[in-house]
Amino acid sequence: MNNELTLDIGIGGMTCASCVARVERALKKVPGVSAVAVNLATESARVQLIAAETVPAADPAPTLNMEARLRRAVRDAGYEPRAANTLTDAPDASLWAGFAPIAWGLALSAPLVLPMLGDLLGMHWMLPALWQFLLATPVQFVLGARFYKAGWHALLNLSGNMDLLVAIGTTAGWALSVWLWLTAEPGAMVHLYFEGSALVVTLVLLGKWLEAGAKRQTTSAIRALHALRPEVAHLIGLDGEVDVPADEVLVGDTLAVKPGERFAADGVLLEGTTQVDESMLTGESMPVAKEVDSLLTAGSINGDGRILMRVRAVGVDTMLSHIIRLVEDAQAAKAPIQRLVDQVSAVFVPVVLGIALLTLLGWWFTGHSFEQALINAVAVLVIACPCALGLATPAAIMAGTGVAAKYGILIKDAEALELAHKVDTVVFDKTGTLTVGKPKLLEMEATAGHVRAEVLQLAASLQSGSEHPLARAVLAAGKTDGTIFLATTGVSAVPGRGMQGLVDGRELLLGSLRWMDELQVELGSLADSARQWQAQGSTVSALAERVTEDAMPRVLLLALMAFGDEPKPEARRALDALRARGLRLLMLSGDNQGAAEAMARRLGLKPETGEVMAEVLPGDKAAQILRLKQGGGRVLMVGDGVNDAPALAAADVGMAMANPDGGGTDVAMHAAGMTLMRGDPMLVAAALDISARTVRKIRQNLFWAFAYNVAGIPLAALGFLNPVFAGAAMAMSSVSVMANALLLKRWRP
pLDDT band of residue 471 (cuts 50, 70, 90) is confident
What does the pLDDT read at residue 20?
86
Q: Is the pLDDT of residue 494 over 50?
A: yes
C-alpha 636/C-alpha 634 separation (Å) is: 7
Share of the chain above pLDDT 70, in %: 89
* pLDDT value of position 57: 47
- Mean pLDDT for all residues in the chain: 84
Report the alpha-carbon distance of residue 725 to residue 702 in Å, rounded: 22
Highest CATH level, class, for 409-435+567-691:
alpha beta
Q: How many CA atoms lie within 13 A of 9 on its CB side?
A: 25
Q: What is the pLDDT of residue 119?
A: 59
Fold of 5-84: Alpha-Beta Plaits (3.30.70)
Whether the pLDDT of residue 96 is over 80: the answer is no
Return the exposure string of 339-373: e unless at least 16 CB atoms fall within 10 Å of the residue's CB, then b: eebbebbbebbeebbebbeebbebbbeeeeeebeb
pLDDT for 405-460, tens place per residue? 888 888 877 788 888 989 999 999 888 889 887 888 989 999 988 999 999 999 99
Q: How confident is the model at residue 152 (pLDDT cuts 50, 70, 90)?
A: confident
Give pLDDT, residue 54: 45
Quick: pLDDT tens for 678-725: 888 999 999 999 999 999 998 898 888 888 878 888 998 998 887 877
Q: Are strands 440-446 and 552-564 parallel, antiparallel or unpaired?
A: antiparallel
Q: Is the dihedral of CA 143, 145, 151, 154 positive or negative?
A: negative
CATH assignment, 440-564: 3.40.1110.10
What number of other Cβ atoms are within 10 A of residue 667's Cβ?
Answer: 16
Which residues does 135 contact at the CB level (< 8 Å), separation at least 6?
Answer: 108, 109, 111, 112, 127, 194, 198
pLDDT at 53: 46
Q: Write the CATH number of the domain with boundaries 250-313.
A: 2.70.150.10
Q: Output the DSSP codes for 261-280.
A: PBPSSEEEEEE--EEEE-HH
Adjacent-strand bridge partners of 657: 676
CA 162/CA 384 separation, integer angstroms: 8
| pLDDT tens profile 522-561 | 888 899 999 888 877 788 899 999 988 777 888 899 999 9
Q: What residue segments make up the domains of the chain, in order of their start?
A: 5-84, 100-221+328-398+693-746, 250-313, 409-435+567-691, 440-564
User: Which residues belong to the active site?
Assistant: 429
Measure Cα distances from 186 to 88, 156, 182, 460, 601 in Å.
57, 41, 9, 109, 95
Q: What band does 120 get if pLDDT is binned at 50, 70 and 90?
A: low
